[in-house]
Amino acid sequence: MSENADKTSENTDMSAQADSTSESSTDPGAPDANPEQLQGAIEKLSQHKPEAVSEFMAMMGTGPVTNPLHRKMEGGHITQLLDLAADHDEREYELQKQAQDNASSDRAADRRYYFLAFLVIAVLFGLLLFLFQDQPDVLIPALTGLGGLVSGFLGGWGVGHRSA
């Protein structure tokens, strides 16, 4: 019976100590608690409920971990970081501008290429019509073959393909 009384008095002493430390600090996770008191509380808890101690230790280990470099950073580092970010933005802008200029020049080159192909086909048709205007036996198969060649080229370029 005296053993139960000792445990009860120890529990009330621990609760009184816990109340006094919680009143003195505004932050519940503040390191104001005496390490010996914490160690004693953990030992007593481990004697009665070992699974509660393992849960408590797991919760203590899963707190937010800060980067150790945060403590070493100064105003100059932040200025340097902002300068690097500004330089990066300028380089990204230049790359986007160059890509847009390249796309524009590609479209212009495509238009010139299509126009040149049209001129070559028109000249071939005109030449066939001029040379074989009196020979319909040669003109009809030649125009048919040239028309098939032209339609094959146009199909290869994607003319007539409907994109979804």
Mean pLDDT (the chain) is 75
In a domain, 68, yes or no: no
Least trusted range by pLDDT, from 23-32, 88-97, 133-142: 23-32
Q: Is residue 142 part of a domain?
A: yes
Q: Kindly state whether residues 81 and 119 are assigned to the same domain.
A: yes
Do 43 and 90 sit in the same domain of this protein? no
Question: Within 10 A of 128 (CB to CB), how many other CB atoms are there?
Answer: 16
Is residue 117 in a domain? yes
Mean pLDDT, rounded, for 134-150? 88
Cβ atoms of 17 and 32 within 8 Å: the answer is no
Decide if 113 contacts 105 (C-beta within 8 A).
no
* Model confidence, pTM: 0.40
Shared domain check, 98 and 135: yes
Tell me: do 46 and 100 sit in the same domain: no
For residues 121 and 149, membership in a common domain is answered with yes
Res. 15: pLDDT tops 50 = no
Residues ≥6 apart with Cβ < 8 Å to 132: 138, 139, 142
**Are 81 and 150 in the same domain?**
yes
Count CB neighbours of 121 within 10 A: 16
Same domain, 92 and 119: yes
Assess if residue 110 is contained within a domain: yes
Percent of the chain past pLDDT 70, that is, above it, reads 66
124: number of Cβ within 10 Å: 15
pLDDT of 64 above 70: no
Is 119's pLDDT higher than 90? yes
- Whether residue 67 lies inside any domain: the answer is no
Tell me how long the chain is. Answer: 164
Distance separating the N- and C-terminal Cα atoms of the chain: 87
Predicted confidence (pLDDT) per residue in 70-113, tens digit: 778 888 888 998 999 999 999 999 999 999 999 999 989 988 98
Considering the domain architecture, whether residues 80 and 152 belong to the same structural domain is answered as yes
Q: Is the domain of 41 the same as that of 99?
A: no
Q: What is the mean pLDDT of residues 119-136?
A: 89
Number of domains in the chain: 2
Same domain, yes or no: 52 and 107: no
Q: Is residue 27 part of a domain?
A: no
Q: Which residues of 105-120 are buried (b: 16+ CB within 10 A; e: fewer)?
A: eeeeeeeeeeeeeeee
Model pLDDT for residues 32-60, shown as the tens digit of each residue: 557 777 777 777 766 776 676 667 666 66
Give residue 3's domain range: 1-20+32-58
Exposure pattern of 44-54 as b/e (b: 16+ CB <10 Å)? Answer: eeeeeeeeebe
